[in-house]
Amino acid sequence: MSNRAYELYVEDGIESADPLELVRLLYERAIGALREARQALAAGEILARSRAISKASAIVIELNSALDHARGGDISRRLAALYEYMLRRLLEANLQQSDALLAEVLGLLSTLAEGWNGIRKPSGVPEVVSHWPVSAEPASAGVSHAWSL
């Protein structure tokens, strides 16, 4: 698949995804960016490492900005603190050229991604066709539904 075809495929998936799927996609992309950063660091590719870390940081910022503290309560505040921590560690990793710090953030994001992957609609349950009713909200753990990818 060509690079442009892949980009169109991904873009279409983002436009049609629900909020839980969008969070999953963001985690997937951040994890991919951190893997790229680690590979670039090992290869001594400074520019590629910096770009990949910047991409991962931008995604963590997007995840943080999507939190809905009014509905998410303590969970969203804890996630915000964790995202802020990850951003500091990514900055340090870039400045210190530290694989250990990249691995730490990769581990944190992987753990969060596993949790989000576990949040799925039970099979056989019909899809709700309204504008995100309150009954559908608990699984989003305080994540806003306004996405700007």
The amino acid at residue 143 is: V
Which residues is 67 bridged to in the sheet? 143
Instruction: Using alpha carbons, select from 35, 21, 33 the residue that is nearest to residue 60.
Output: 33
Q: Is the pTM of this model over 0.85?
A: no
Q: What is the CATH topology of the domain spanning 12-117?
A: Four Helix Bundle (Hemerythrin (Met), subunit A) (1.20.120)
CA 31, CA 38: separation in Å to the nearest integer?
A: 11
Q: How far is CA 92 from CA 87, 88, 100, 120, 149, in A?
A: 9, 6, 11, 35, 25
CB atoms within 10 A of CB 81: 11
CA 103, CA 34: separation in Å to the nearest integer?
A: 8
Which pLDDT does position 117 carry in this prediction?
A: 87
Which pLDDT does position 11 carry in this prediction?
A: 53
Which pLDDT does position 129 carry in this prediction?
A: 37
Note whether 56 and 88 are within 8 A (CB): no
CA 27, CA 109: separation in Å to the nearest integer?
A: 7
Q: What is the dihedral of CA 103, 105, 107, 110, to 10 degrees?
A: -130
Tens-level pLDDT at each residue, the chain (149 residues): 554 544 444 455 555 567 888 989 999 999 999 999 999 999 999 999 999 999 999 999 999 999 999 999 999 999 999 999 999 999 999 999 999 999 999 999 999 999 988 876 545 444 433 333 333 333 344 444 333 33
| Torsions phi, psi for 16 (to 5 deg) | -100, 0
Which pLDDT does position 86 carry in this prediction?
A: 98
